[in-house]
Structure 1
Amino acid sequence: MATSASSSDGATRGKVIVVGAGPVGLFVALRLAQAGITVDVMEKDATLSDAPRAAGYYGGTLVALARAKVLEKAVDRGFVSTGLCWRKPVADDGEGGKRYGDIIARLPFPYGDPNSVTGKVPSLMLPQSKLAKLFFDEAKATGLVTVHFNMALTAIQDDGNSVKATFTRAESGAQETYQASFLVGADGGKSSTRKLLNIPFKGHSWPERLLAIDCVFETPRTVESGFPTSFIIHPVHFGLVLPLERFEPGKRSAYRCAVAIDPRDSRSDEELTSKESVDDLLDKMLPGPRPINAEVLRVAPYRIHQLCASSFRRGRCVLAGDAAHLNNPFGGMGLSSGLLDAEALTDSLDLIINEGSPLSLLDTYSSERQRVFQIFTSPVSTMNKLRCAADPELANEDWLIRALNTNPSSLKEYGRHFYDTWRTNMRSLVAGVPPS
């Protein structure tokens, strides 16, 4: 029999259920708790995920982290990056090994106001799992957030005044019903929340699979420390290599290597993650002596998509992060977009719960974040991917590569979009103030 965790109006008023204990769901919980709102976070898995996913954050995302008072703590757990580059594939080093391919273009990240926290951090590098653990610790410390593991969402009932959500416990199969003023679906690309709300997910999937490999290898002594992240341009096995921790040339450090698999490759995911397959892919991507001398930590195959929900709201239920939209990971716009959703959504719920704004503000949230995905996140991330899946000998024909090599100052205005367009300031929208 289902049990009710909170059934009276007094127990549910101002309370929020968050489905999904990934970084977006935990960031929603943290910011709501900072606004004095009680949160139940429901996670179907037994623990926080350590899968190799996002690792870099920049632009408006840094503003959101600073507002939540976690940016400096995140930097302490990760490190500041000052730029990235595009390269040709690895080449023979003349000594039986491989060297990084020649740099095609460099993109330095500009510093901002030195008196502000975000001005000192042009880009943050921190694996998604570590960022999620930071959010988890900070949210729990508020005393207003409870995280429930092994709880799978199975039903949603929205009566217009509150939401009841039923969950099934993985260990026992028992059902429990929780009640709150609002429900936030932050449960990933296969979102049960979105499916139960019958919200279409529209777009396309890319033909390639990606293999994300976390590994330890020696940082080349010739690496340019200001541009530690490398996009590898290749028409088939394009990808990226980025550091997961502070590094020093000549010493071994942890890196993420993501490489595209030929769409014609019919091997199963299990076959792709075999030692032989992983070693072959690392041979295509990493510099150093041969045979490859890398310690593999984690491997995860996944498909990449450009998908967007037809709405981010149904009644008192709202979507954020991958539950609302998916885009390919080139350019680090996936989790960062989700965190910007979380910032806008929590501001909206704070305004509704604590300041009496109308429920229609959730329509504004839905429209604005959907618009940002359609006009900015999706097209920019799409071109980031296509730019890498190209002939490296023709890379300079691309407008961005050409601009970086001939007139980088012309990109200053373009760079502002990653703050002004990507991020949504809900309080300014409510006040009718144009974004600065």
Structure 2
Amino acid sequence: MSERWARAMLTAYRFAGAAAYPFVGGYIAWRTTRGKEERSRRRERYGFAVVKRPPGPLVWIHAASVGESYAVIPLVRRISGFDINVVFTTGTVTSAQIVQSRFDERVLHQYVPLDLKPAVSRFLDHWKPDLAIIAESEIWPMTILELGARRVPQVLVNGRLSDRSFEAWTKRAFLAEALFENLSHVVAQSEIDGERFRQLGARPVTVSGNLKVDTDPPAVNERELRLLRSQIGRRPTWAAISTHDGEEAIAIEVHRLLKRRYPDLLTIIVPRHPERTEGLLGAFSAAGLMVARHSLGEPVEPEVDILIGDTIGDMGLYLRVTEIAFVGRSLTAEGGQNPLEPAILETAILAGRNVQNFRDSYERLIERGGARLVADRDMLAGAVNFLLANEDKRHEMIAAALATVNEMRGALPATLKALEPYINPLIVKARLDEGARR
């Protein structure tokens, strides 16, 4: 009975999507006006490609946004290094810029098609992938079903299921099983994630660790870094990064509390979504704080209180000029943001208690002494004050965080091993095709 319900729901989803397809233009147009779509590339969201499919085997790799894109970049490099073509899809403008800046013509970027049958079918008809690799938790029913109908192997890598997602899927376990049975393999981030996928019907499931640990430190413009360091000098600094609504206000209050003890304190605030910066300026002004915006090239003069990191792809710059980082989406929002990047870049890590999406990473960091959780503004202010005042303790946290990251490495080779049954035949095919062309 449950199986019939699942198939009925998926059939209804298919027909609903087909019926909605002619009307999604307005939605895409609205996203374009807000800078969430590239006007010149909107047709890619409907499955239209403007470049030809290259000859030979091809792997489709999908990563939703910036974090997922960074995580799979080393994996993409290894696969393309086998002379296998890759079409790399993302869903955001920012992640598209990151992908295009890091690969040559063997890796082709496209925006992911809408999860509607006409768009997905058109995309698959053009690219004809031999393998589909999906990053983290991108479960799109129509895409999974269409790939399954074409017998294209689908592998979920760096897979994770948040508490909320797992609860939602558990309530619809029959639907989850109908979808997950199409996955050829799930490579999960942690044992908890792996067990959750198994409970929802995925087979086989292996655990690799987090691919984000095996990424290189984010690149930085050395000239910009030298300039920023010279402007900051020996001022005490701390950073609130990947902040969400409400956390910037907390950072302002922490700054005002600490400035009584550290008159030349510089606070670096990096909103998760830089487009929110304009709306935040009023709060800084009302608090009587002097602000410098990195996007405008405004210098960090001695009277500047707040440096706003309102640019994309510069987290490596902001984290290299401080030794203390509060990681957002953890006090006023739920789920948390990735603490591994600040650990790699040698900062002592603070966060709120709502870090469920990165539970495994935080547990390891806290156990080793590389991270500390805070409950509210006052605890955050106290923790920053303690770390500013105690250099030895600060450096102990930094060393512990870095050691934890080094212990967690190994996800990339584990993922590649899990992918061998799907990649090796494509390597052989690529070599045969190359020999035939000579």
TM-score, normalisation: structure 2: 0.35
Query: Relative to total residues, which structure has the larger strand share, 1 or 2?
Result: 1
Bigger fraction of residues in helix = 2
TM-score for the superposition, normalised by structure 1 = 0.36
Task: Flag the structure with more relative contact order, 1 or 2, with Cα contacts below 8 A and sequence separation at least 6.
Answer: 1
Greater radius of gyration (CA): 2
